[in-house]
């Protein structure tokens, strides 16, 4: 529901959509956070002018979120949304000062990203059955491509046939903010993808999406989540079983096998090393485990 008192919200969202070219999912997250904050201002402070919004007002909203037992991670995201909003207001000259300057985000306990063990991924592809029909072929190849490239769910389901570069054995991926990156693939995976494309059912051949259903429709996020959860449940007991876990597995297995951190950063499409460095912790944990098992003085 648009907040007529604050047209700046829609102006900012348009900026994210048309200039920053953020995904629809990201824009909705920003919109929800901002509308929640400004609804609070309307109810508690009688809709103050943008320039009259103070740090104490922001803090009172954050305190209410904490009372509602909203997680620190979610609160941090809302703070980040507000900071981006106010940064834009300063950039456009709508404001000369931001109330977010002295707002400190709550600390989050760092958890190592979960991943599927390499032996379990090998077992999935070598021994677990997939149905022989088009659906089964699609599911197996989707999981294999996730694990072989580390791409995001949104990147994979939007993948077009034209993004497969057979001559160089690579895939051009359109990531966050419409940033392109190149991911190499093996000869075996390339051949499987080429055969999948050539074997598309008649109804599906008109679609330029790489992965399609039997009737040529692009894959939906919910169905991909569903079959990945089902298949991973057959080989692992980790709590989370999602496309993102396959991305974590891709990065962790690369690091565990000696890949360069900067190379993993580029393959994942991270904008900074900070996001990639979390995978070094898993590597350290593996080294500790090897030490405990192998060293006589451990």
CATH number for the domain harbouring residue 235: 1.10.443.10
Residues 162 and 274 in one domain: yes
Q: Which of 20, 87, 137, 244 is catalytic?
A: 244
Output the pLDDT for position 109.
64
Residues 173 and 275 in one domain: yes
The domain tally of the chain equals: 2
Which range marks the domain in which residue 36 is found? 8-92
- Over residues 231-270, the pLDDT tens digits come to 999 999 999 999 999 999 999 999 988 899 999 999 999 9
Q: Is 168 considered catalytic here?
A: no
Q: Which of 152, 200, 253, 265 is catalytic?
A: 152
Q: Which of 78, 241, 247, 253 is catalytic?
A: 247
Residues 157 and 25 in one domain: no
Residues 162 and 250 in one domain: yes
How far is Cα 21 from Cα 162, in angstroms, rounded to an integer?
21
Is 181 domain-assigned?
Answer: yes
Is 105 domain-assigned?
Answer: no
Output the pLDDT for position 99.
97
Q: Is 270 considered catalytic here?
A: yes
Q: In what order do the strands lie in the sheet with 180-184?
A: 164-165, 170-174, 180-184
Q: Are 283 and 256 in contact (CB under 8 A)?
A: yes
CATH number at residue 60: 1.10.150.130
Is 3 domain-assigned?
Answer: no
Question: What is Dmax (Cα atoms) for the chain?
Answer: 70
Residues 166 and 59 in one domain: no
Distance of CA 109 to the CA centre of its chain: 20
Phi, psi of 160, rounded to the nearest 5 degrees: -105, 155
Q: Residue 296 pLDDT > 90, yes or no?
A: no
Q: Is 244 considered catalytic here?
A: yes
- Over residues 47-101, the pLDDT tens digits come to 999 999 999 999 999 999 999 999 888 999 999 999 999 999 999 999 999 999 9
- Over residues 3-62, the pLDDT tens digits come to 788 999 999 999 999 999 998 999 999 999 999 999 999 999 999 999 999 999 999 999
Is 100 domain-assigned?
Answer: no
> Where does the pLDDT of residue 177 fall: very low under 50, low under 70, confident under 90, or very high at 90 and above?
confident
Is residue 17 exposed (0-12), middle (13-18) or buried (19+ Cβ within 10 Å)?
middle
Is 170 domain-assigned?
Answer: yes
Is 97 domain-assigned?
Answer: no
Q: Is 25 considered catalytic here?
A: no
Q: Residue 210 pLDDT > 80, yes or no?
A: yes
Q: Is 181 considered catalytic here?
A: no
Residues 84 and 175 in one domain: no
Q: Residue 105 pLDDT > 50, yes or no?
A: yes
Q: Is 147 considered catalytic here?
A: no
């Amino acid at each position: 529901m648009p907040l007529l008192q604050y047209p700046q919200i829609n102006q900012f969202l348009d900026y994210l959509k048309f200039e920053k070219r953020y995904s629809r999912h990201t824009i909705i997250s920003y919109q929800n956070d901002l509308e929640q904050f400004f609804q609070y201002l309307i109810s508690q402070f009688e809709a103050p002018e943008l320039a009259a919004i103070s740090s104490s007002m922001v803090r009172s909203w954050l305190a209410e979120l904490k009372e509602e037992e909203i997680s620190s991670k979610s609160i941090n995201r809302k703070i980040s949304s507000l900071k981006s909003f106010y940064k834009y207001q300063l950039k456009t000259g709508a404001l000369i000062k931001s109330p977010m300057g002295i707002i400190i985000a709550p600390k989050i306990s760092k958890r190592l990203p979960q991943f599927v063990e390499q032996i379990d991924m090998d077992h999935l592809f070598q021994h677990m059955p997939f149905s022989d029909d088009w659906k089964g072929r699609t599911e197996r190849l989707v999981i294999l491509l996730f694990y072989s490239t580390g791409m995001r769910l949104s990147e994979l389901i939007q993948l077009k046939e034209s993004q497969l570069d057979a001559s160089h054995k690579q895939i051009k991926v359109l990531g966050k903010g419409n940033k392109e990156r190149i991911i190499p693939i093996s000869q075996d995976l390339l051949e499987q993808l080429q055969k999948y494309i050539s074997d598309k059912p008649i109804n599906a051949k008109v679609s330029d999406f790489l992965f399609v259903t039997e009737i040529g429709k692009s894959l939906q996020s919910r169905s991909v989540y569903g079959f990945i959860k089902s298949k991973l449940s057959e080989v692992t007991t980790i709590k989370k079983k999602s496309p993102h876990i396959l991305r974590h597995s891709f990065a962790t297995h690369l690091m565990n096998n000696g890949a360069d951190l900067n190379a993993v950063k580029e393959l994942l499409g991270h904008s900074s090393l900070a996001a990639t460095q979390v995978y070094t912790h898993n590597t350290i944990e593996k080294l500790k485990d090897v030490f405990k098992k192998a060293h006589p003085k451990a």
